[in-house]
Chain A
Amino acid sequence: EAGVAQSPRYKIIEKRQSVAFWCNPISGHATLYWYQQILGQGPKLLIQFQNNGVVDDSQLPKDRFSAERLKGVDSTLKIQPAKLEDSAVYLCASSPFGTGSAYGYTFGSGTRLTVV
């Protein structure tokens, strides 16, 4: 089966610019997650979708970050305006199971964002 696809692989932007990341989960996976991984730290959950609905966005900085999952498949994560501290790898993961289950958690290759 094809894995979780993410693009772009790398992105360098200046602070205050905007950026968008794209994720295509494994076919049929209902749950999609966006994680932020700062260098030297573990991944931190930003937002969780169940189909096209938001389950948890408690750690998403909503003044600058937004995410959507139209039609319950692909998802985009946007940052506007970017800050230096947003430099991180943004990981998308998907699971065939719903909230509360980490079975079959598959991560994409991530997007490495550098804000200068």
Chain B
Amino acid sequence: QKEVEQNSGPLSVPEGAIASLNCTYSDRGSQSFFWYRQYSGKSPELIMFIYSNGDKEDGRFTAQLNKASQYVSLLIRDSQPSDSATYLCAVLSSNTGKLIFGQGTTLQVKP
């Protein structure tokens, strides 16, 4: 089982729709979770982090965490073509303190 798993996609949504990106993790002791956005040919950029169960909202982005199910998600409301990118889920390992990345989900927002 991979430490951090994401569906590689691509996930295609129409402009203005809600995009839902999902991530599961294996380390039950993990406490810190991150979402990075990576445009093609660019480096990852931190867009959200979450530590507590429930939802965290920042503008059009909402991160959701369910530690019991070992599941974290990212919702993007009113998706724009500029949101088209690969979204990387990252989990801070409770054992090693390392940031473990999933393989990323490619999002395509079509005008």
Contacts and interface: CB of A to CB of B under 8 A. Distances in A.
A44 B4 CA distance: 12
A105 B8 CA distance: 23
Contacts, number: 48
Q: Please tell me the size bucket of the interface on B.
A: 20 to 34
Contact of A43 (B42, B44, B46, B97): B44
B49 interface: yes
A107 B49 contact: no
Interface of B: 4, 6, 8, 32, 34, 42-46, 49, 88, 90, 92, 96-104
Contact of A42 (B32, B49, B104): B104
A25 interface: no
Given A99-B97, A102-B90, A109 B42 contact: yes
A61 interface: no
Given A44-B101, A103-B49, A105-B46, 10 more contacts: A33-B99, A41-B104, A42-B6, A48-B98, A91-B44, A102-B49, A102-B92, A105-B34, A109-B43, A110-B43
A107 B44 contact: yes
Contacts of B32: 102
A100 B92 contact: yes
